[in-house]
């Protein structure tokens, strides 16, 4: 038996952003950047570790909207163009930098190599289908893929039991479509929980969820091992809670690894640094500057202003990632020993959940860090064992019964980010739609073909309006206009469709256009919203 268990849990999620009505769309870049910087590198690293016998083992949520985007043909084509365009710019840059700015040459060369490799992986190794790659990693025993709320809906702020249940059941159905099995665990969007949600999870066959630390620490009765062992709700659904120490080591902007001066600076980007005419072929047709993903500077120092940042040196950053991985594993071993000693010999379970997009997008060297962490866990020590929550449950180790408490992993630990003076206007609209959806689902027992399509599309519009991403970004002050507009669009479309089915004045073209745009969850069945 190891001294302790370590469970890395990655939450890969992006809101459903797909705009077929335009030839290109700025916010679709979120998805394209994440494929290049996060998903492809992580898949490649996990596959390599597996093939070399390093036995990586972790849990990963691939959220339903992300699955749907990864499986979408339009986005697949657009991403391919995006990557080819970026590689073309990188190649152009390699030539320019060699002559004009040799200090940046190593970085420019790195982008040519990385993007070339990414295009090769995308086109050839994975056949432009990362869902298959994730599924293969699950079948090989590397990943335990868990699901998430269908559109990352913030369950405690959803007003009806039926609408909450739909977020779970639609997610499970979508998981089965993509991964051909029942999910064991779920990442509740924003780790937002309130008592009672576990009953909806159990109805859908979910065995466990991820909660924040105080979900368990403030639960009743007191947890014997704190967050360092799961608890099980009275109804049998287990909860694994976030370990604060591992969070801070990686995630804290004050003390976390990514703030080291050797790592790549996120905010200096050629999209803002180079002449607009030079960049124009690589920008959208509106010619607006944007982040392009080629960044030549390192953080240098926490207080160093943007224009004083020094050139990025890929080798230094790689070495630093290895050093930080060594430190991280050493601290996990120390943590395991001291917790085990404090627990009278009971091996602790350390759950370390992070946004997947932290690794690679925000922290460029993050995937390398994960690579080194798993190598060191496998080759350099025996004290800690990398497992998943499902593995822990399979081990049949006794688990304390406890009622967790309401919580989220967001600012201040509760719901402030998602309901506050700036975004609370959304909820009366959302809640009206939730009530209306169940009224219609209860009413239509034998809909004709067009009514069936409208009812299913109503469900899609409600689900998309419920995405916690919109309220979050409004609170953050980032992409406020887009997020407000997206919420308004889905409520607007919901209202149009509700009116259509209420009045029986069917506008087939309008329905078809809405279906074409918001095509998430082809398998959806509106009857999930029924109250009985």
Please select the residue that binds another protein; options are 98, 280, 308, 485, rule is CB under 8 A: 485
Minimum distance of another protein from residue 252's CB (angstroms):
6
Minimum distance of another protein from residue 322's CB (angstroms):
19
Residue 400 is a binding residue for another protein (CB under 8 A):
yes
Stretch that binds another protein, among 289-297, 385-393, 480-488, 522-530 (CB under 8 A): 480-488
Please give the residues from 44 up to 103 whose contact with another protein meets the rule CB under 8 A: none
Residue 502 is a binding residue for another protein (CB under 8 A):
no
Question: Which runs of consecutive H residues, i.e. helices, occur in 101-208?
Answer: 105-120, 130-139, 161-179, 197-203
Residue 394 is a binding residue for another protein (CB under 8 A):
no
Please select the residue that binds another protein; options are 76, 432, 451, 525, rule is CB under 8 A: 432
Which burial class, exposed, middle or buried, applies to 267 when counting CB atoms under 10 A from its CB (0-12, 13-18, 19+)? Answer: exposed
> Checking DSSP bridges between strand 208-211 and strand 349-355, what pairing results, if any?
unpaired
Stretch that binds another protein, among 74-82, 94-102, 116-124, 358-366 (CB under 8 A): 358-366
Please give the residues from 213 up to 252 whose contact with another protein meets the rule CB under 8 A: 213-214, 217-228, 243-245, 247-248, 251-252
Please select the residue that binds another protein; options are 493, 497, 520, 529, rule is CB under 8 A: 493
Please select the residue that binds another protein; options are 429, 444, 452, 506, rule is CB under 8 A: 429
Residue 484 is a binding residue for another protein (CB under 8 A):
yes
> With respect to another protein, which residue has the nearer C-beta, 231 or 377?
231
Stretch that binds another protein, among 52-60, 82-90, 145-153, 352-360 (CB under 8 A): 352-360
Helix (H, G, I), strand (E, B) or coil at 388: coil
Residue 198 is a binding residue for another protein (CB under 8 A):
no
Minimum distance of another protein from residue 224's CB (angstroms):
5
Residue 409 is a binding residue for another protein (CB under 8 A):
yes
Please give the residues from 257 up to 276 whose contact with another protein meets the rule CB under 8 A: 258-259
Please give the residues from 266 up to 325 whose contact with another protein meets the rule CB under 8 A: 284-286
Side-chain-facing half-sphere of 472: CA atoms under 13 Å: 16
Minimum distance of another protein from residue 234's CB (angstroms):
12
> With respect to another protein, which residue has the nearer C-beta, 138 or 489?
489
Distance of CA 280 to the CA centre of its chain: 31
Question: How many angstroms separate the CA atoms of 314 and 311, rounded?
Answer: 10
Please give the residues from 20 up to 39 whose contact with another protein meets the rule CB under 8 A: 21-24
Please select the residue that binds another protein; options are 195, 313, 381, 383, rule is CB under 8 A: 195
Residue 342 is a binding residue for another protein (CB under 8 A):
yes
Question: How many angstroms separate the CA atoms of 340 and 334, rounded?
Answer: 10
Tell me the CA end-to-end span of the chain in Å, nearest whole number. 48
Stretch that binds another protein, among 78-86, 121-129, 417-425, 524-532 (CB under 8 A): 417-425
Question: How many angstroms separate the CA atoms of 463 and 459, rounded?
Answer: 6
Please select the residue that binds another protein; options are 85, 159, 381, 519, rule is CB under 8 A: 159
> With respect to another protein, which residue has the nearer C-beta, 218 or 272?
218
Residue in the block written with tokens 């078809």:
512
Residue 265 DSSP code: P
> With respect to another protein, which residue has the nearer C-beta, 141 or 342?
342
Helix (H, G, I), strand (E, B) or coil at 400: strand
Minimum distance of another protein from residue 279's CB (angstroms):
16
Residue 482 is a binding residue for another protein (CB under 8 A):
yes
# binding residues, another protein (CB under 8 A): 102
C-alpha closest to that of 64 among 177, 163, 219: 177
6 forms bridges with which residues in the sheet?
A: 350, 386
Rounded (10°) angle between helices 468-476 and 480-503: 150
Q: Which two tokens stand for residue 111?
A: 């982008």
> With respect to another protein, which residue has the nearer C-beta, 98 or 222?
222
> In this structure, are residues 172 and 180 in contact, taking their beta carbons and an 8 Å threshold?
no
C-alpha closest to that of 69 among 178, 173, 155: 178
Question: How many angstroms separate the CA atoms of 469 and 459, rounded?
Answer: 18
Please select the residue that binds another protein; options are 120, 411, 502, 523, rule is CB under 8 A: 411
> In this structure, are residues 207 and 393 in contact, taking their beta carbons and an 8 Å threshold?
yes
Please select the residue that binds another protein; options are 307, 398, 445, 532, rule is CB under 8 A: 398
> With respect to another protein, which residue has the nearer C-beta, 30 or 316?
30
> With respect to another protein, which residue has the nearer C-beta, 401 or 522?
401
Please select the residue that binds another protein; options are 361, 375, 453, 460, rule is CB under 8 A: 361
> With respect to another protein, which residue has the nearer C-beta, 285 or 532?
285
16, 152, 175 from 186: Cα distances, Å = 19, 11, 11
Stretch that binds another protein, among 44-52, 134-142, 320-328, 477-485 (CB under 8 A): 477-485
> In this structure, are residues 9 and 394 in contact, taking their beta carbons and an 8 Å threshold?
no
Minimum distance of another protein from residue 484's CB (angstroms):
5
Question: Which runs of consecutive H residues, i.e. helices, occur in 11-129?
Answer: 29-34, 40-51, 64-70, 73-100, 105-120
Distance of CA 167 to the CA centre of its chain: 16
Question: How many angstroms separate the CA atoms of 81 and 79, rounded?
Answer: 5
- Phi then psi for residue 282, to 5 deg, are -110, 0
Please select the residue that binds another protein; options are 316, 362, 452, 506, rule is CB under 8 A: 362
Residue 428 is a binding residue for another protein (CB under 8 A):
yes
Stretch that binds another protein, among 83-91, 315-323, 381-389, 402-410 (CB under 8 A): 402-410
Q: Which two tokens stand for residue 264?
A: 């790549």
Question: How many angstroms separate the CA atoms of 471 and 157, rounded?
Answer: 11
């Amino acid at each position: 038996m190891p001294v302790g268990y370590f469970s890395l849990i990655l939450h890969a999620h992006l809101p459903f952003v797909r705009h077929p009505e335009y030839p290109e769309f700025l916010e679709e870049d979120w998805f394209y950047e994440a494929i290049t910087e996060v998903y492809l590198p992580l898949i490649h690293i996990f596959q390599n570790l597996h093939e070399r016998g390093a036995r990586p083992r972790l849990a990963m949520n691939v959220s339903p909207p992300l699955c749907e985007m990864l499986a979408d043909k339009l986005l697949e084509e657009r991403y391919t163009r995006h990557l080819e365009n970026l590689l073309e710019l990188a190649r152009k840059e390699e030539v320019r930098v060699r002559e004009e700015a040799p200090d940046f040459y190593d970085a420019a060369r790195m982008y040519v190599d990385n993007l070339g490799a990414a295009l090769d992986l995308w086109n050839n190794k994975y056949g432009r289908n990362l869902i298959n790659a994730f599924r293969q990693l699950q079948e090989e025993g590397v990943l335990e893929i868990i699901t998430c709320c269908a559109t990352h809906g913030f369950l405690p702020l959803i007003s009806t039991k039926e609408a909450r249940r739909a977020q779970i059941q639609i997610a499970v159905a979508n998981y089965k479509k993509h991964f051909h099995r029942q999910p064991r665990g779920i990442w509740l969007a924003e780790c937002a929980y309130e008592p009672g949600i576990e009953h909806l999870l159990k109805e859908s066959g979910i065995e466990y969820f991820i909660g924040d630390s105080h979900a368990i620490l403030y639960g009743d009765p007191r947890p014997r091992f704190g967050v360092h062992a799961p608890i099980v709700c009275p109804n049998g659904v287990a909860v694994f809670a976030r370990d604060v120490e591992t969070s801070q080591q990686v995630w804290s902007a004050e003390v976390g690894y990514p703030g080291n001066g050797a790592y790549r600076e996120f905010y200096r980007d050629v999209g803002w640094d180079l002449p607009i005419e030079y960049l124009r072929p690589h920008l959208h047709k509106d010619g607006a500057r944007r982040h392009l993903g080629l960044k030549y500077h390192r953080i240098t120092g926490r207080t160093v202003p943007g224009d004083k940042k020094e050139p990025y040196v890929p080798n230094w950053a790689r070495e630093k990632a290895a050093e930080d991985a060594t430190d991280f594993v050493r601290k996990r071993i120390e943590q395991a020993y001291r917790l085990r000693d404090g627990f009278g010999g009971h091996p602790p379970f350390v759950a370390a959940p992070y946004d997947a997009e932290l690794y690679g997008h925000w922290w460029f060297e993050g995937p390398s860090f994960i690579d080194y962490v798993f190598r060191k866990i496998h080759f350099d020590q025996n004290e800690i064992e990398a497992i998943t929550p499902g593995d822990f449950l399979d081990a049949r180790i006794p688990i304390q019964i406890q009622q967790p408490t309401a919580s989220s992993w967001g600012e201040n630990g509760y719901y402030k980010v998602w309901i506050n003076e700036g975004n609370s206007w959304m909820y009366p609209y959302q809640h009206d739609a939730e009530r209306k959806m169940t009224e219609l689902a209860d009413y239509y027992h034998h809909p004709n073909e067009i009514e069936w399509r409208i009812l299913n599309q109503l469900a899609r519009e409600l689900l998309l309006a419920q995405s916690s991403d919109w309220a979050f970004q409004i609170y953050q002050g980032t992409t406020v206009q887009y997020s407000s507009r997206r919420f308004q669009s889905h409520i607007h479309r919901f209202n149009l469709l509700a009116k259509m089915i209420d009045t029986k004045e069917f506008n087939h073209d309008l329905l078809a256009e809405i279906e074409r745009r918001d095509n998430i969850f082809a398998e959806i069945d509106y009857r999930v919203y029924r109250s009985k």
